[in-house]
Amino acid sequence: MVDAQRPVLEVTGIHKQFPGVKALLDAGLRLYPGEVHTLMGQNGAGKSTLIKVLTGVYQPDGGSIMLNGQAIRPRSTQHAQDLGISTVYQEVNLCPNLSVAENIFIGRYPRRLGMVDWRSMRRQASELLKRLQIGVDVSKPLADYPLAIQQMVAIARALLVESHVLILDEPTSSLDEAEVQTLFGVLRRLREEGMAILFVTHFLDQTYAISDRITVMRNGEREGEYACAELSRLALVNKMIGAPAEAQEAATETLANGQAERGEVFLRARAIARKGVLAPVDLELHRGELLGLAGLLGSGRTETARLLFGADKADSGGFEVDGRQVGFSNPRDAIAQGIGFCSEDRKHEGAILPLSVRENLILALQARQGIWRAIPLKRQQQLATDYVKWLGIKTASIETPIGSLSGGNQQKVLLARWLATEPGLLILDEPTRGIDVRAKQEIMDYVSKLCRKGMSILFISSELPEVLRVSDRMVVMRDRKACGEYRRGELDETSVLRVIAGEGA
Amino acid sequence: MNARVDPTPAKPTAAPAASIKTMLLQHPLLRPLAALLLLLVLDAALVPGFFRLEMKDGHLYGALVDILNRAAPLMLAALGMTLVIATRGIDISVGAVVALSGTVAAMLIGGASDDAPMGMALAASMGVALLCGLWNGALVAGIKLQPIVATLILMVAGRGLAQLLTDGQIVTVYYKPFYFLGSGYLAGLPFSLFVVAAVFGMTTVLMKKTALGLFIQAVGINPVAARLAGLRTATLIIFVYVFCSACAGLAGMLITSNIKSADANNAGLLLELDAILAVTLGGTSLAGGKFSLMGSMIGALIIQTLTYTIYSLGVPPEVNMVVKSIVVFVVCISQSGEFKQLIKRRPA
């Protein structure tokens, strides 16, 4: 173990509160020189908040950060970098139209007689990249190179400032397999040089491929710190999601709706795939059936949903609706076939904030009817009033801007937006995220009621107990692939966790 | 009066008197209207006989009629600009389209007997304007150029093309019936006012009686969500640019008819900026979304009244721009949310 050494970075007892939310309660982290340390946790576990505290974006409310035995408090990203903590973000934030060398040296151009010393800059840049065993022409614009190389340039830039700590925040989410391997090669070389690397990712395979140790976060706290070799995948997922014992209790009170009448296949997707996003997936959605899609974030759940709705176009594979071949190249095509989609990103992909509850609610129906066949105002008001009543939407009136409603009520309005189109298939991507328990319950109850009336539902959620509770059938996804399909009652939570973790059922 | 698309359906019977008062006070058209009234009161005090209207030869004459008549092209341009701005876009090629469509109309009509019939000439002129809009829309929605850059191309190219067509000369129109568009009278009022009223009326009906108004707002506020709700976002964006250019084309015909000639160098020069100003003065945010056609009309009238006031006060023309900018600054400041908060915080 590396414990004999002194940690280069030791973070203890960090807490951070945002209005209404305790983002970090007691977050901690120990980072040793010459290790790749992976930070894992579910969405909302506090990973990104912790990273932002380390890089000076947020100021913690309490706790200590020790770098090489000295207490530090990064005030800004610049300050953090000066202290020796460099960060490479998920989206490369470099200047694509400047040369590779300029990107590495930006703001720190080597000077000679008051002028930029271009020759020395290019030489040093080449040497840096050679150290990473990346052979590129440093005088070419950055945009000429693929994303992976751009990421290496970002890393090279971090090396230039004599960093002690390199933080990689989900660097692999937009890279393909070969590019990931190149990146890992670089990380291994840096590790040999004694760099302390903090790696944030959602991908289990990658975690095990590169990490020495793992810190798991849950609910804003450090759940634990483990040597990678001593922690099984199952144990890891368990620790991320929480103790299975309590979860099982929730799972046992399944919905008392009996087995819903499972009807004909409504939508059949054959080997739909999208390069770098999703490996080929087969799915069948029956009328009157609630299909759950489980898996960790980044496992391909949302990506599958977006292909099914035409929000992204599938590179390959085909769709059948009621046995007819169809193609979805945009959401309109899918809507025309009777498909609705509630996005996981309510604020950016769902609600149109300054518009009223009524306008938000009729939008999809009106879009399907087209511009000319305007829904009469009376009918709009009727629809809005009805859905406000049926779904128990708490709003001052149907003319209130949707932005002034609570998250749960906004979600109900968006649900109503699709219900108003009377879809054959409704895709719900994390419909219960960030809303209170009661609204959660109400939404799920309503959804399963619809299902019993013959609607097909695809339900995506990070909360495994919830998926287990409502699904008639469940598909588990891992690492951008579907890796198992189970009927209700076939699996308990622990075995699902095992599948999610990739240890076989 | 209120042309704000999709207003809260008022239920005056149920609302107590106090809330009607607050509704009026918070009405988005309150500030632009107040600014216009203030200018008119100022004029009435400073310009003798400002409100006097008289009938001469069956035509209504007076300062007010004059302002309305001169504001007509700007009002048209502002109508088109309103929808573009509602989609979070901007169109700075309006002036160039005015010049181009005016030139096409003037050259085709000309004055000799073998020239094209007026109807055909006007149709060709409108056709050119529509093509301009299609071009702008395709660049913004198709190639996804930033609207200001996309329309900058036509701003330069349109006027350049007009100058090429006319060899940089002013094309005079001798065909009398064409004069009617920009300087004729109908029922005692300038004909151009009927053109504006017709376009305004049609647009308002289009926005209120079809789903277009809702869709334009949705695309302007949140294009991603709008696409996922099944809107044809690209088609909508192309439409607003075509509409804007069509309005500019009409404005070009009015201007050409009014001055009985097409001046490719100066016709509609900087009209786009006045139009953007009119839209802003009318309370439509440049951030897109909610828009007010009536607000833009009032905005255009504010600008024209201001110009009139400055000229009639005998202020030298070179001061005109400075005065205009000060008034615009004051009106814009009064509409700024930040500024309102600043004022509110002071007394507290």
The ranges assigned to domains in chain B are 57-314
Mode of pairing for the β-strands spanning A196-200 and A165-169: parallel
Regarding whether A156 and A95 lie in a shared domain, the answer is yes
pLDDT of B279 higher than 60: yes
pLDDT of A146 higher than 70: yes
**A309 in B contact zone (CB under 8 Å):** yes
pLDDT for res A421? 93
Number of structural domains, chain A? Answer: 3
Regarding whether A431 and A416 lie in a shared domain, the answer is no
Name the domain boundary from A212, A246, A280: A246
pLDDT for res B7? 42
A371: closest chain B residue by CA: B211
pLDDT of A20 higher than 70: no
Tokens of residue A125, six digits: 């840049």
Backbone torsions φ then ψ of B38, nearest 5 degrees: -60, -45
Regarding whether A157 and A97 lie in a shared domain, the answer is yes
Regarding whether A281 and A175 lie in a shared domain, the answer is no
State what percent of residues in chain B have pLDDT above 90: 53
Interface predicted TM-score (ipTM) = 0.82
Higher pLDDT, A198 or A4: A198
Task: List the single range of A131-145, A333-347, B200-214, B286-300 with lowest mean pLDDT.
Answer: A131-145
Regarding whether A496 and A408 lie in a shared domain, the answer is no
Mutate to test the interface with A, among B228, B233, B285 (most CBs of A within 10 A): B228
| A256 within a domain of the structure (yes/no) | no
pLDDT of B340 higher than 50: yes
Regarding whether A221 and A268 lie in a shared domain, the answer is no
State what percent of residues in chain B have pLDDT above 70: 91
On whether the B57-314 domain is CATH 1.10.1740, my answer is no
Across chain B, what does the average pLDDT equal? 87
Name the domain boundary from A422, A446, A472: A422
d(Cα A184, Cα A210) in Å, to the nearest integer? 7
pLDDT band at B13 (very low <50, low <70, confident <90, very high): very low
| A257 within a domain of the structure (yes/no) | no
CATH of the domain at A71: 3.40.50.300
pLDDT band at B14 (very low <50, low <70, confident <90, very high): very low
Nearest to A350 among B214, B225, B231 (CB): B225
Q: What is the pLDDT of residues B19-68, one digit of tens each?
A: 677 777 778 888 889 889 998 998 888 888 888 888 888 888 888 999 99
CA geometry: angle B213, A425, A477, nearest 5 deg: 115
Backbone torsions φ then ψ of A56, nearest 5 degrees: 85, 5
pLDDT for res A155? 83
Side chain identity at A59, as an amino acid letter? Q
**A372 in B contact zone (CB under 8 Å):** yes
Mean pLDDT of A194-200: 90
pLDDT for res A43? 66
**B230 in A contact zone (CB under 8 Å):** yes
Q: In chain A, which residues have their Cβ closer than 8 Å to the Cβ of B212?
A: 371
pLDDT of B8 higher than 50: no
Nearest to A444 by CA among A461, A425, A420, A422: A461
pLDDT for res A497? 80
Q: What is the pLDDT of residues A409-419, one digit of tens each?
A: 899 999 999 99
Tokens of residue A245, six digits: 């014992």
Regarding whether A487 and A471 lie in a shared domain, the answer is yes
Interchain CB distance below 8 Å, B232 and A332 = yes
Q: In chain B, which residues have their Cβ closer than 8 Å to the Cβ of A377?
A: 9
| A258 within a domain of the structure (yes/no) | no
Regarding whether A316 and A168 lie in a shared domain, the answer is no
Residue A453 belongs to domain spanning: 263-338+427-505
Nearest to A421 by CA among A329, A337, A308, A356: A337
pLDDT of B159 higher than 80: yes
Mean pLDDT of A25-32: 89
A182, A302, A501 from A481: Cα distances, Å: 22, 12, 13
Q: In chain A, which residues have their Cβ closer than 8 Å to the Cβ of B229?
A: 331, 363-364, 367, 417
Higher pLDDT, A449 or A249: A449
pLDDT band at A258 (very low <50, low <70, confident <90, very high): very low
pLDDT for res B1? 38
Regarding whether A393 and A471 lie in a shared domain, the answer is no
Three-state DSSP at A323 gives coil
Q: In chain B, which residues have their Cβ closer than 8 Å to the Cβ of A364?
A: 229-230
Regarding whether A323 and A382 lie in a shared domain, the answer is no
Q: What does pTM read for this prediction?
A: 0.75
Interchain CB distance below 8 Å, A363 and B214 = yes
Name the domain boundary from A246, A280, A298: A246
Regarding whether A57 and A179 lie in a shared domain, the answer is yes
Regarding whether A175 and A45 lie in a shared domain, the answer is yes
Task: List the single range of A75-84, A255-264, B129-138, B328-337 with lowest mean pLDDT.
Answer: A255-264
Interchain CB distance below 8 Å, A352 and B224 = no
| A361 within a domain of the structure (yes/no) | yes
pLDDT of A306 higher than 90: yes
pLDDT of B332 higher than 90: no
Higher pLDDT, B334 or A201: A201
Interchain CB distance below 8 Å, B225 and A331 = no
Q: How many CA atoms lie within 13 A of A478 on its CB side?
A: 18
| A442 within a domain of the structure (yes/no) | yes
d(Cα B325, Cα B257) in Å, to the nearest integer? 29
CA geometry: angle A485, A490, A493, nearest 5 deg: 90
